[in-house]
Amino acid sequence: MRIFDPHIHMTSRTTDDYTRMAAASVRAVVEPSFWLGQPRSNPGSFIDYFDSLIGWEPYRAAQFGISHHATIALNPKEAGDPRCRPVLDLLPRYLEKDRVVAVGEIGYDSMTPEEDSAFELQLALAEDHGLPALVHTPHRDKARGTRRTLDVVAAAGIAPEKVAVDHLNEVTVGLVHDSGCWMGFSIYPETKMSPPRMVDILRRYGLDRMLVNSAADWGISDPLLTVETAKAMLAAGFTVDDVDRVLWRNPVAFYGLSGRLDLDVGAPDATHEGNSVLRGGE
């Protein structure tokens, strides 16, 4: 088995998580930029965060044989904060970087006019830079937020096959399925979506354009729920090839639209000087 987690916030995870993920066949991850829990007060905080997403974090992942890429954006939770808006002007330089494979997470949190404008502007940036877009759907009022998201995507003129709409559930999957966009699902231990519910959705809607992630961050989450979903698929009668399609080939196809996926990290290098850092040197 090989697993590609297309949405996981490794910045908030420890090396124990990387060890467990590598042991459980997670070979590739994409880390979308998002908020950091506490609101950021200036654009400089984003510069350091973005730099770590394309520098330090891929290096850290590679020590465990895991390929790491990022998506870059001004996230919906901070898009309405006037202190953060200048981040929009910083994005073009990051969208040219080798390990940036999409614009994201963009979309709605509270569905304000400020979020509207940031969303539209960043969909246009995705088009300008030849990148796909990763769209977060709000956790409150999800059906209305998803409908509005799809309206904005359609109005922007970006091809639906270049857009993934994430954090879906049984209520919203049908809308996105019909739109032609990719469908993302975040599997959580307690809330939102579980492996058995995910298997039911795959049975009903098929495997095309399906992306399954663990979204693991600082909240109660588990970076191995992609693997648990794979096991639940097999137990439900899906084939090994079906699992490979949903949990490897689909994310490769979606982020491959960037032309920048590099899945070859080579063997973890035990002699590399940086390893001592990860092993608790300083």
DSSP notation for the chain? --EEESS--GGGS-HHHHHHHHHTTEEEEEEE----SSPP-SHHHHHHHHHHHHTHHHHHHHTTT-EEEEEE---TTTTT-TTTTTHHHHHHHHTTSTTEEEEEEEE-SS--HHHHHHHHHHHHHHHHTT--EEEE--SSSHHHHHHHHHHHHHHHT--GGGEEEES--TTTHHHHHHHT-EEEEE--SSSS--HHHHHHHHHHH-STTEEEE---SSSS--TTHHHHHHHHHHHTT--HHHHHIIIIIHHHHHHHTTT-------S--TT-TTHHHHTT--
What minimum distance in Å lies between the beta carbon of 54 and Zn ion?
Answer: 17
What minimum distance in Å lies between the beta carbon of 76 and Zn ion?
Answer: 10
What minimum distance in Å lies between the beta carbon of 37 and Zn ion?
Answer: 12
What minimum distance in Å lies between the beta carbon of 217 and Zn ion?
Answer: 6
Half-sphere exposure of 67 (CA within 13 A, CB side): 21
What minimum distance in Å lies between the beta carbon of 75 and Zn ion?
Answer: 8
Residue with nearest beta carbon to Zn ion: 34
- Measured from the CB atom, the residue of 52 and 242 that comes closer to Zn ion is 52
What minimum distance in Å lies between the beta carbon of 59 and Zn ion?
Answer: 21
- Measured from the CB atom, the residue of 9 and 27 that comes closer to Zn ion is 9
Largest separation between any pair of C-alpha atoms in the chain = 52
Q: How many residues bind Zn ion (CB under 5 A)?
A: 1
- Measured from the CB atom, the residue of 184 and 195 that comes closer to Zn ion is 184
CA distances from 37 to 199, 214, 217 (A): 31, 18, 10
- Measured from the CB atom, the residue of 33 and 250 that comes closer to Zn ion is 33
* Interaction pattern, residues 8-47, with Zn ion; x per rule: CB under 5 A: --------------------------x-------------
What minimum distance in Å lies between the beta carbon of 105 and Zn ion?
Answer: 5
- Which residues contribute to the site for Zn ion (CB under 5 A)? 34
